Amino acid sequence: MKFAITSKGDQKSNTLMHKMRTYLLDFELIYDEDQPDIVISIGGDGTLLYAFHRYSSRLDKTAFVGVHTGHLGFYADWTPEEIEKLVIAIAKTPFQVVEYPLLEVIIRYQGGAKESRYLALNESTVKGVEGTLVMDLEIRGEHFERFRGDGLCMSTPSGSTAYNKALGGAIIHPSISALQVAEMASINNRVFRTVGSPLILPAHHTCMLKPVSHFDFQVTIDHLSYLHNDVKSIQYRVPEEKIRFVRFKPFPFWKRVHDSFIDDSD
């Protein structure tokens, strides 16, 4: 089996990375940064997001497992104290794979220039470069609303606990294949009106954003930010690709939500 390790870069994470690499090599596993079967992420959710984008071209061949060296993460379910146990599990135990849905972003441009395609694990946001964002929002090819406000956030189920939650979006279990649309400070008055609530779309629905006046936008894909000029449309949907997580032990999603957001002191 071939493996690779990504580290947050701090001293604690780097120490664990070198220790795990040595242990796994002792078990005669092969270290391969280009074509790994398993990628071990040591750090936090941000470290795993980095690993996901690094290996996004081989999601059908690479599975991920996370070790958190800071605060509890939604993607990192092993602790530094469990390193030896994890190494033995990787080397000796047939592992299960759990798949989570992703978000596909396709940006098309005025004049028919080559389109840009991205995959997001958590979310994608769209904001205007010049003040208020004004976008026509279509669902399954039908006009739904004209949005005016600070921006829009499209999230995956596993990313619903991130920026989406801060915007008042729903938390969705990652076993549900869907995408969610959440508004950022929409303008609602006698003249302008949006639905004012998050929208949860099933996997077979496509959401399309079309500019009304300005055509330059700041688009984020997880932790990455891009400026796109002369945009004709931005399409969101659930793609066929999925992220694959290695599971050696139960991963109770709702317990993780409870531990992350609810005070346990009472």
Residues 150 and 59 in one domain: no
d(C-alpha 65, C-alpha 6), whole Å: 11
Residue with the larger pLDDT of the pair 95 and 183: 183
Q: What is the pLDDT of residues 212-244, one digit of tens each?
A: 988 999 999 999 999 999 999 999 999 999 999
Smallest CA-to-CA distance from 182 within 222, 153, 148 is with 153
pLDDT band at 120 (very low <50, low <70, confident <90, very high): very high
- Number of structural domains (the chain) is 2
Q: Is the residue at 62 inside a domain?
A: yes
Q: Are residues 40 and 121 in the same domain?
A: no
The pLDDT mean for the chain works out to 94
* Confidence (pLDDT) at 14: 97
pLDDT tens, position by position, 41-100: 999 999 999 999 999 999 999 999 999 998 767 898 899 999 999 999 999 988 889 999
Q: What is the CATH number of the domain that holds 254?
A: 3.40.50.10330
With bands split at pLDDT 50, 70 and 90, how would you rate the model's confidence at 265?
low
118 in the same domain as 152: yes
pLDDT tens digits along 131-143: 899 999 999 999 9
Least confident window among 14-18, 110-114, 151-155: 110-114
Does residue 48 share a domain with residue 16?
yes
Q: Which domain holds residue 86?
A: 2-100+242-261
Instruction: Please give the pLDDT value at position 190.
Output: 80
> Is 45 known to be catalytic?
yes
Mark whether 120 and 232 lie in a shared domain. yes
Q: Are residues 198 and 116 in the same domain?
A: yes
State the catalytic residue, choosing from 45, 259, 263, 264.
45
CATH number of the CATH domain containing 130: 2.60.200.30
Residue 115 domain-assigned (yes or no): yes
Residues 249 and 155 in one domain: no
- Please check the confidence at residue 266 and state whether its pLDDT lies above 60: no
Asked whether residue 154 falls in the same domain as residue 209, the answer is yes
Query: Beta strand pairing status for 116-120 and 123-128?
Result: unpaired
For residue 186, pLDDT beyond 80: yes
Assess whether pLDDT exceeds 70 at residue 264.
Answer: no
Whether residue 266 lies inside any domain: the answer is: no
Asked whether residue 50 is domain-assigned, the answer is yes
Q: What pLDDT, on a 0 to 100 scale, did the predictor assign at position 143?
A: 97
Percent of the chain having pLDDT more than 70? Answer: 98
